[in-house]
Amino acid sequence: MKANRARWPIATMARLLQVSTSGYYAWLRHEPSKRALADADLLAQIRAIHASSRGTYGMPRIHAQLSRQGEHVGRKRVARLMRMAGLCGVSRRRWPATTRPRAGARRAPDLVRRHFSAGATNVLWVADATYIPTGEGFLYLAIVLDVFSRRVVGWGMSDHLYTELMLRALDMAVQQRRAEGVIHHSDQGCQGGFNRSLQH
């Protein structure tokens, strides 16, 4: 109503919005509460810290900086004000590596020479592992893919990334396809045990 009072009569807007005109005028005269004023002051400080960090600081760092400045407030309050203002930091969460080269391991030959195509099924399989973040931690997924059909022919899932997981995916592919002469290609990680290309 306040934003549109130059265009529309207050009485008309009050009737349409089903509020009383006296209630609207009482609201206009109402002073902001001490809490609202304190929140506005705190938000100004939060905005300044966030801007000085080039938008990288999230709630924990901003809370720590406020404490260093002598402003002792709760973390939840800082989080609430940042959420209301649309402020967030940059996450520096470390993601797990799915390729772990083994020191001193013999490098297997690259039989496909980075040419990932095949003219028929069961000519070239490629393998890789990835991770899936869950509420309980990371789960690791290993897959074996037939390059020609683009179908997953073997997979394995576990809460750890060891050679056993990669071999489980390969075993499933071998059991399902029972193919011979297949080139199996993976990255240089030691989890695969086969580290590059091998012919089955």
Q: Is 169 exposed, middle or buried (0-12, 13-18, 19+ CB in 10 A)?
A: buried
R_g of the chain computed on alpha carbons: 31
Alpha carbon distance 147, 126 (integer Å): 7
* DSSP H helices in 89-178: 163-177
Quote the pLDDT of residue 188. Answer: 57
Alpha carbon distance 37, 19 (integer Å): 26
* DSSP H helices in the chain: 10-17, 21-29, 34-52, 59-68, 75-85, 163-177
Alpha carbon distance 115, 129 (integer Å): 20
Domain coordinates in residue numbering, the chain: 10-85, 124-199
Q: Is the pLDDT of residue 37 over 90?
A: no
Alpha carbon distance 135, 80 (integer Å): 23
Longest dimension (CA), the chain: 87
* pLDDT tier, 106 (very low <50, low <70, confident <90, very high otherwise): low
Q: Is the pLDDT of residue 194 over 50?
A: no
Residue-wise pLDDT for 121-134, tens only, equals: 888 888 888 888 77
Judged by DSSP in three states, 68 sits in helix
Residue-wise pLDDT for 68-89, tens only, equals: 999 999 999 999 999 888 888 8
142 contacts 132 by C-beta, under 8 angstroms: no
